[in-house]
Amino acid sequence: MEERQVGTFNVKAGLAEMLKGGVIMDVTTPEQAVIAEKAGAVSVMALERVPADIRAAGGVARMADPHIIKSIQQSVSIPVMAKVRIGHFVEAQVLEALEVDYIDESEVLTPADEQYHIDKWTFKIPFVCGARDLGEALRRIAEGAAMLRTKGEPGTGNVVEAVRHLRAVNAQVRQLVNTPDNELPDLAKELRAPLEIVRKVKELGRLPVVNFSAGGIASPADAALMMQLGADGIFVGSGVFKSKNPEAFARAIVRATLHYNDPKVIAEVSENIGEAMPGIEMATLTQADRMQDRGI
């Protein structure tokens, strides 16, 4: 029977599977998108501003102008992602109409709904969502997310939160896998996640969807660190285009991600690539500055 089934979970999660081991880069212009593609990025995130600039600008951050997204789609052949505000399902409808390849329901933008995330099952376009721990991750999967990224703290150039979140998720997965079956219902309650998904994690021994690392990755060594800690791939937000030499940085981060277990290659790619983006120490952020606490 020759019949096409589109928008199935298999097809949605499948694209994320194809991105494994790769780097997804934030870009704000077609020129930046071309630099990212030439450097070997597996996908680009089309934005109006990178997180560091969103942080600096303050105010309400929204979905990008469709013109920016379209011009980036026309400039590259790799998949194009774009961000919507948490809970803003109309922004998501707009991105679906634009046929972006993945929608990021992202804490980098100002949340539109403080209680509900988007019901992602109602869309044919797949979604990626952020998480700081296993409970958040499984709740997003329950809402239909086909890909995850640990949140980190976007736009800081400081990898410490990315490390914290990935370690937390992995430690909790290990704990879940070693929990006896008859204690899983209680664990599900504790995680505030559906039992069925909790059981699935135990059965697989890992998260049921791909999990990238995001939020603060600013150097080739940062990218390799997250890969060695078990990330499936890397999101680089401000780290490339806020560095002094974006071409060199983009290329170096891609190579460090691919050869993450080879310190010689990481040393080689880190040489003479200019200064990384300026970083922010976590203690200097106020509660309101912390993007990771949005949409949990």
* Interaction between residue 161 and another protein (CB under 8 A): no
**Footprint of another protein on 164-223 (CB under 8 A):** none
Selection from 266, 248, 249 nearest residue 257 by Cα? 266
* Interaction between residue 291 and another protein (CB under 8 A): no
Asked if 200 and 237 touch (Cβ cutoff 8 Å), the reply is no
Q: Kindly tell me the sign of the dihedral angle through the C-alpha atoms of 214, 144, 210, 83.
A: negative
Q: How far apart are CA 290 and CA 243, in angstroms?
A: 22
Give the three-class secondary structure for 84. Answer: strand
Q: Which is nearer to another protein, 83 or 164 (CB)?
A: 83
* Interaction between residue 96 and another protein (CB under 8 A): yes
Q: How far apart are CA 240 and CA 251, in angstroms?
A: 9
Give, in order, the Cα–Cα distances in Å from 38 to each of 58, 76, 220: 32, 9, 17
Amino acid identity at 6: V
Of 12, 20, 70, 83, which is the active-site residue?
A: 83
- Nearest distance in Å: CB 179, another protein: 24
* Interaction between residue 22 and another protein (CB under 8 A): yes
Specify whether 83 is catalytic: yes
Q: Which is nearer to another protein, 21 or 66 (CB)?
A: 21
* Interaction between residue 268 and another protein (CB under 8 A): no
CA angle 104, 27, 252 (to 5 degrees): 105
**Footprint of another protein on 33-92 (CB under 8 A):** 37, 40-43, 73, 77-79
Active centre residues (catalytic): 83
Please give the residue ranges that form the binding site for another protein (CB under 8 A).
Answer: 1-8, 10-11, 14-15, 17-22, 37, 40-43, 73, 77-79, 96, 99-102, 124-126, 254-255, 258-259
